[in-house]
Amino acid sequence: MADLRRALGLHTRTTFHIAKTLLMLGYLRQMESSKHYQIGSPLFALASAALDEVELIRAARPVLADMANATGETSYFGIMSGEKLVVLAKHDGSGAIRINDRLGNVRPLHCTALGKVMLASFGTEQFESYLQSANLAIFTSKTIRTVEQLRQGIADVRSSGIAFDGGEVSEELRCTTVPVYDFTDRVIGSLGISGPGWRLSIQALHKNTKTLQNAVERLSSELGARPMQHKSASESAPASNS
């Protein structure tokens, strides 16, 4: 409250009444432990027009950096652009061998962890439409090849809230990804790590799950999502197709 009063240049009582009103309307929220104020979700709705790619990158970069430092692997943030999954931001890991992957790369949806998270967020009609026209390109012996396999794989992602790629695009690479939510509790993107299979085993992927979940909680909170609202991709509203 003292910080607010000084920043606004107002009397303490006036600042208190303004803050109380904003709390009632949900534009502010107060942390129980520290009594500090934070921006509330309705304010994000008012500012949603400003939530463009530049803002998403700004919010994602520190989270990606911390995630890469914690796991030692390259971290990624991807979003849907039309019907395609685009890598919007990344941070190289500390491992001796790094993945040479450019920002803006388009990833297939059916066989990447980033893409599977987005497919899991599709509504029924949108998902069925995708299945009817999807080109399930085959990259390795482990790539999903049939609609039935993809349908079951996406059902698993919806149930668990996490997606894996165990060499489906490249035999040498493994990835794990979780959904990122915005202030409407809609899946707005996917956040994950990727590394060589000999270093990032299936066991290591599962071991890093908690790190990913903490990271997505942090980034989703930055985008206005409510805490503990995003337990699995199936609990969210369908992802935007734009």
Which domains, ranges and CATH numbers included, belong to the chain? Answer: 2-39 (no CATH), 49-235 (3.30.450.40)
State which residues of the chain have pLDDT below 70: 41, 44-51, 95-104, 228-242
**83-98 pLDDT, tens per residue?**
788 888 999 887 655 5
Helices and strands (H and E) in the chain: how many: 9, 8
Q: Cα-Cα-Cα-Cα dihedral of 217, 221, 222, 223, to 10°? A: 110
Give the pLDDT of residue 240.
Answer: 39
**108-147 pLDDT, tens per residue?**
899 999 999 999 999 999 999 999 988 899 999 999 999 9
